[in-house]
């Protein structure tokens, strides 16, 4: 894999015609082929970097193919996730999210809203209909952060009745983490930085896996979503595509692009961490999931730097006459308030009348 810092940082490679046309049309996500890059083909890193730069400055979402993740691994993650939401509600509620935001999040138990996108989208006031089960990096009981009860760094809550689930999801997140690390040189070069620039920030990277279930909901209220408009808090996000529609991405003209299915592809998008690091050069695009026509599942991998990594703007990303638009702080000091701002599930008014998946409110 090409990760050498010896690559020239003044590359004149421009975005490919296909990427430019896709962004101009805004009918489908651009699709990038990682095969040549992963095979260490000459020039592949610089071409991908130019394409990603153009995408991240204009749309913020794209799809990748030939990414090296076995389809069998993805299929098993989806299969286990479907089983996850079939276990009895009584068992799921034993693992309900709390202080650490790790565990089960029932449908209609939270309102997703974020100050980061309030100017782009009206503030959400409706309960999302999706259910989710959230996992952070897996830790052992003797981990120093577990012993210190560091928030969001506790023990994951694994389903008791699915003995194969943990094994399958561990394999899945391991593969996704390895792929995300391989993507770092592309983002570094896209920002005009040495290819190995981000290595020091990702020695023990954090991640957040969100297994989600979007059921067809009857009688949804106006302005209610399966998952409300938001922007991710990640450095980058990886999401295997599903043929069941529902995901929509906000275009530069503030219209909603319905994401079309590409077999075997992963969706990639920038989150607020890279948005901060790039001083707004790389956008964290709002997106949402609308009521699906049939059962829809997601196995979303949010990739983060080390807890102590500085996520203030990179000096070279601050243009002439510009100022830093964000303060310098550790990733962890960004992450905790980000989750508190986005997920509003501790308010008892949001937690009452929780219904099992697929049951429509009669209120």
Is residue 85 predicted with pLDDT exceeding 80? yes
Please state, in angstroms and as integers, the Cα–Cα distance from residue 153 to each residue in 110, 232, 299, 357, following that order: 21, 19, 20, 28
What confidence score (pLDDT) does residue 110 get? 65
**If pLDDT is split at 50, 70 and 90, which confidence band does 10 have?**
very low
Query: 127-171 pLDDT, tens per residue?
Result: 888 899 999 999 999 999 999 999 999 999 999 999 999 999 999
What confidence score (pLDDT) does residue 350 get? 36
For the segment 244-269, the average pLDDT, to the nearest whole number, is: 95
Report helix, strand or coil for 299. Answer: strand
How far apart are alpha carbons 332 and 340 in whole angstroms? 13
Give domain limits for the chain: 17-351
Q: 236-240 and 296-303 as β-strands: parallel, antiparallel, unpaired?
A: antiparallel
Residue identified by tokens 């991710």 is 232
Which token pair is 1? 């894999």
Query: 183-193 pLDDT, tens per residue?
Result: 999 999 999 99
The CB density around residue 235, as the number of other CB atoms within 10 Å, is 30
Across 23-27, 95-99, 221-225, 238-242, least confident range:
221-225
Contact 282, 60 (CB under 8 A): yes
Contacts of 239 (CB under 8 A, 6+ apart): 266, 267, 268, 269, 298, 299, 300, 301
Query: 221-240 pLDDT, tens per residue?
Result: 888 888 888 889 999 999 99
What confidence score (pLDDT) does residue 128 get? 80
Confidence (pTM): 0.89
**If pLDDT is split at 50, 70 and 90, which confidence band does 38 have?**
very high
For the segment 207-225, the average pLDDT, to the nearest whole number, is: 89
The CATH homologous superfamily of the domain defined by 17-351: B-lactam Antibiotic, Isopenicillin N Synthase; Chain (2.60.120.330)
Report helix, strand or coil for 146. Answer: helix
How far apart are alpha carbons 98 and 85 in whole angstroms? 19
Closest CA to 232 of 125, 150, 310, 341: 341
- The more confident residue out of 121 and 162 is 162
How far apart are alpha carbons 75 and 44 in whole angstroms? 29
What confidence score (pLDDT) does residue 3 get? 40
Walk across the sheet containing 256-258 and list its strands.
227-230, 287-289, 247-250, 256-258
Long-range contacts of 318-322 (CB under 8 A, 24+ apart): 318/279, 319/279, 322/279
How far apart are alpha carbons 184 and 195 in whole angstroms? 8
What confidence score (pLDDT) does residue 219 get? 81
């Amino acid at each position: 894999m090409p990760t050498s810092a010896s690559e020239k940082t003044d590359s004149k490679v421009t975005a490919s015609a296909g990427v430019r046309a896709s962004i101009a049309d805004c009918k489908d996500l651009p699709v990038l082929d990682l095969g040549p890059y992963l095979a260490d083909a000459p020039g592949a890193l610089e071409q991908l970097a130019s394409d990603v730069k153009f995408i991240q400055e204009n749309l913020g979402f794209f799809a990748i193919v030939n990414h090296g993740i076995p389809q069998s691994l993805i299929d098993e993650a989806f299969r286990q996730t479907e089983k996850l939401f079939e276990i009895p509600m009584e068992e799921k509620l034993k693992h309900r999210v709390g202080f650490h935001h790790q565990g089960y999040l029932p449908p209609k138990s939270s309102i997703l809203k974020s100050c980061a996108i309030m100017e782009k989208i009206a503030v959400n006031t409706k309960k999302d209909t999706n259910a989710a089960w959230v996992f952070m990096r897996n830790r052992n009981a003797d981990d120093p952060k577990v012993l210190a009860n560091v928030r969001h760094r506790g023990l994951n809550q694994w389903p008791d009745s699915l003995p194969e689930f943990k094994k399958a999801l561990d394999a899945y997140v391991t593969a996704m983490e390895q792929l995300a690390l391989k993507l770092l040189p592309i983002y570094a070069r896209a920002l005009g930085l040495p290819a190995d620039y981000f290595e020091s920030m990702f020695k023990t990277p954090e991640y957040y896996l969100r297994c989600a279930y979007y059921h067809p909901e009857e009688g949804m209220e106006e302005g209610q979503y399966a998952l409300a408009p938001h922007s991710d808090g990640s450095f980058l996000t990886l999401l295997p595509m599903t043929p069941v529609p529902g995901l929509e991405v906000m275009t530069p003209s503030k219209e909603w692009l319905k994401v079309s299915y590409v077999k075997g592809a992963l969706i990639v998008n920038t989150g607020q961490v890279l948005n901060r690091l790039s001083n707004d050069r790389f956008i964290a695009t709002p997106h949402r999931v609308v009521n699906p026509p049939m059962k829809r599942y997601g196995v979303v991998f949010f990739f983060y730097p080390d807890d102590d990594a500085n996520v203030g703007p990179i000096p070279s990303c601050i243009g002439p006459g510009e100022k830093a638009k964000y303060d310098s702080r550790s990733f962890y000091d960004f992450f905790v308030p980000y989750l508190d701002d986005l997920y509003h599930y501790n308010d008892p008014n949001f937690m009452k009348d929780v219904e099992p998946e697929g049951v429509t409110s009669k209120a």
